[in-house]
Amino acid sequence: MRPKKPALPAKKYEYGYDLALELAARQLAALGDIEAQCRKCGARYLAKERLVVISYLGCSHYLNPASAGVTMSNGQEAPIRDRLLILHYFLQAKGTLATGRLITYRELKEGINYFPVFSKRAIQPIVTAFGGDPRRLIAAAQSIGGREINLGDGAVLIEALPRVPLTVVLWRGDGELAATGNILFDSSITDYLTSDDIHALCETIAWKLAKSLKTGG
């Protein structure tokens, strides 16, 4: 009789997030100067409320350094994935200025190894939703603070976080070639987010853009 495999947690992904949040909370508690870290990441510190205000995808989010909690402007708790991204951004920010040099996910550390998964989960959903008419991307991106820029057949610059600008660009397909797209980053992004965080951020953006298209804004 074969031994039974140990049971996995029923919500293994949530369990993983919980562990990551616990680690981030400990790192935040050990951080000496909150206001100095705010300056590094382009956030504001509300001394009276003891809250850090960080713009994330066009909306203000409020980080409580004492509890590591993150709430949205409507007072509701931020989704766990967004909370983790904001915490990581705040903790990892080095204050590096933008270089103006755009890079792709392939150029990140180990990015070339994980690019197929990144493309499937972050780039292709955007191409599928907007490749037939890249101009629709412009309107959809406004819902997350994006603005049009002059690249490809349609492109937007999204200030995902105060010092993390992302460029989404599309090229329209024709009868012979399929539509294509890419997501570009300022090369300073690695001083603010890990490759895993960048991947998660871009998946979130792709989901929000597609959702905006379906709901009409």
Cα dihedral 57, 63, 69, 73 sign: negative
pLDDT tens-digit map of 116-126:
999 999 999 99
Average pLDDT score, the chain? 91
pLDDT at position 4 is 43
pLDDT tens-digit map of 20-42:
999 999 999 999 899 999 999 99
Of 32, 60, 92, the one marking the end of a domain is 92
- Host domain of residue 44: 12-92
Does residue 82 sit in the same domain as residue 108?
no
Q: Residue 55 and residue 60: Cα distance in Å, rounded?
A: 4
How far is residue 34 from each of residues 47, 63, 75, 195, measured CA to CA in Å? 10, 11, 22, 24
Query: Domain for residue 4, yes or no?
Result: no
Does residue 149 sit in the same domain as residue 69?
no
pLDDT at position 15 is 62
Does residue 127 sit in the same domain as residue 57?
no
Does residue 81 sit in the same domain as residue 108?
no
Backbone angles phi, psi at 4, to 5 degrees: -75, 140
pLDDT at position 14 is 59
Of 38, 66, 92, the one marking the end of a domain is 92
Task: State CA 169 to chain mean position distance.
Answer: 16
Describe the strand order of the beta sheet including 146-149 as a list of residue ranges. 102-103, 180-186, 164-171, 154-161, 146-149
Of 57, 92, 127, the one marking the end of a domain is 92
Does residue 46 sit in the same domain as residue 142?
no
Cα dihedral 125, 127, 129, 130 sign: positive
pLDDT tens-digit map of 115-174:
999 999 999 999 999 999 999 999 999 999 999 999 999 999 999 999 999 999 999 987
pLDDT at position 9 is 40
Partners of residue 59 on adjacent β-strands = 56
- Domains held by the chain: number: 2
- Find the helix or strand (DSSP H, E) in which 89 lies: helix 80-92
**Where are the strands (E) in 2-137, listed by range?**
44-46, 51-56, 59-64, 69-72, 102-103
Does residue 86 sit in the same domain as residue 107?
no
Give CA angle at 142 (155, 96), nearest 5°: 70
